[in-house]
Amino acid sequence: MFGIVLSLAGAALTSQAAPEPIARKIVVFKSGVLNESDREAVIKKFGGVKIKDLKLINGKAVLLPPKAERALAKMEGVLRIDDDVVVEALVRGGISAKPAPSQPAEKLPWGVDRIDAEKVWVTTTGDPIKVAIIDTGIELAHTDLAANIKGGYNAINPLRSANDDNGHGTHVAGIVGAIDNEIGVIGVGPKIDLYAVKVLDKNGSGYLSDIIEGLDWAIDNEMQVVNMSLGTASNVLSFQDAVKRVNAAGIVQVAAAGNSGKAVIYPAAYSEVIAVSAIDKTDTIASWSSRGPEVDLAAPGVSIYSTYKGQTYATLSGTSMASPHVAGAAALVLTQTAKCDTDGNGICSPLEVQQRLEITAEDLGITGKDNLYGFGLVDAEQAIIQ
Ligand SMILES: [Ca+2]
Ligand SMILES: [Ca+2]
Ligand SMILES: [Ca+2]
Ligand SMILES: [Ca+2]
């Protein structure tokens, strides 16, 4: 009797509230309880509509009426329900200058020069390491990138190409691996194999579930490094679970620390991911670069000139621009197994690559590891040649 009264009171309260929008959620299942059709059925039963399967984390992205969430979470075989949070590209402000005209004479960008990547190209140019750019896509026809782009995937719409409709991913890709060809710019590793994994839309934002699907693609397609110049302040267990599995697959993960000037955001803050802060031309941390004990390395991230959509070039700032300097350096290290395989098992694990980059970094700020620069400025020359 009492229970009925309570539930009626609850119904009266909710009927007065504004109708809630359908929420985008990630439903994670326990393994081995429900088969595939039972999983689909339980989502439908609660008014949910499946968007996509997330096999990496044993889940599904769904549209769910908010009122159904608690009851669905209690169903047999359902482990938990996470928010499918919005994740943003970590560029700061807009384009600082009008995009440069198509195919200007080549120059060495200051960031690539500062980490002394150009000094290792006699030894390695990153060929044939596979780096996935988890981003807004890459301009597939850009003359300074096309020959290095070996594939891709559009997690937002698998029927479409991973071409970049924003420009951010094209900029990031050029920092990692623009071609040494007399035009435009040169990347950290000018023969790195680039893969465009489109998870962010034309406004530079996307859903966590699309990023998780992109990470799953990276495992299935044997990527060796993934760059994530993106993040969210929300710590979602599904994201942490995904990066742990990518790490277990032996893939080096590098991410932007964030542009808030405050705590390091996710995924950079996870221990399996190399978190990169941004410095300017004077080796000083950018005021807006996120900071904390999770920062592992620093890299150039202020006024970085690189490839941009529309066959152009642009100068951008953000920890988005710092992360790909480290991703490129990680790819260069991976070509030199003897430099990173400290346990001698013949392969360089993500942790071994990270430690190689850390012990060879140029210490900045206060002596030793610190909250602004981590172990210091990534130094490609020291990591590969020393
Ligand atoms: Ca240099
Ligand atoms: Ca070039
Ligand atoms: Ca090893
Ligand atoms: Ca230091």
Note whether residue 171 is domain-resident.
yes
* pLDDT tens-digit map of 200-218: 999 999 999 999 999 999 9
Retrieve residue 132's tokens.
């996935």
- Final residue before a domain boundary, out of 32, 52, 84: 84
DSSP one-letter string for 152-173: EEESS-TTS----SSSHHHHHH
**Are 240 and 160 in a shared domain?**
yes
If asked whether residues 146 and 66 sit together in one domain, one would say no
pLDDT at position 137 is 98
Question: Do 92 and 80 fall into the same domain?
Answer: no
Res. 194: pLDDT tops 60: yes
Q: Which residues pair with 87 in a beta bridge?
A: 206
Q: Is there a single domain that holds both residue 134 and residue 278? A: yes
Task: Give the Cα separation of 199 and 212 in Å (integer).
Answer: 9
Dist. CA 280–CA 356, nearest whole Å: 23
Q: What CATH code is carried by the domain that includes residue 69?
A: 3.30.70.80
**Which ligand lies nearest the alpha carbon of 377?**
4
Nearest CA among 176, 186, 384, 193 for reference residue 299? 176
- CA–CA separation, 27 and 39 (whole Å): 10
Tell which of 47, 65, 84 closes a domain: 84
Alpha-helical regions (H) of the chain: 2-16, 36-45, 69-73, 110-114, 168-177, 208-220, 237-248, 319-334, 337-340, 350-359, 380-385
pLDDT beyond 90 at 1: no
Distance from Cα 196 to the centre of ligand 1, integer Å: 28
Decide if 354 contacts 288 (C-beta within 8 A).
no
Q: Which domain does 258 fall in, by range?
A: 88-385
Task: State whether 193 and 295 are in the same domain.
Answer: yes
**Do residues 257 and 276 make contact, with C-beta atoms less than 8 angstroms apart?**
yes
Q: Is the pLDDT of residue 122 over 90?
A: yes
pLDDT confidence bin for 103, thresholds 50/70/90: confident
Out of 69, 84, 99, pick the residue that ends a domain: 84
Tell me how far apart the alpha carbons of residues 194 and 151 are, in angstroms, rounded to a whole number.
Answer: 7
135 is catalytic: yes
Write down the residue that tokens 């969210």 correspond to. 232
- Model pLDDT, residue 8: 38
Fill in the amino acid letter for 328: G
Distance 44 CA to ligand 2 centre (A): 51
Percent of the chain clearing pLDDT 90 (strictly above): 91
Q: How much is the average pLDDT of 7-20? A: 46
List the catalytic residue out of 142, 168, 171, 325: 168
Is 320 tagged catalytic?
yes
What's the CATH code of the domain at 280? 3.40.50.200
Task: Report angle CA 294, 292, 350 to the nearest 5 degrees.
Answer: 15
Name the pTM for this structure. Answer: 0.94
Query: Which bound ligand lies closest to the C-alpha atom of 344?
Result: 3
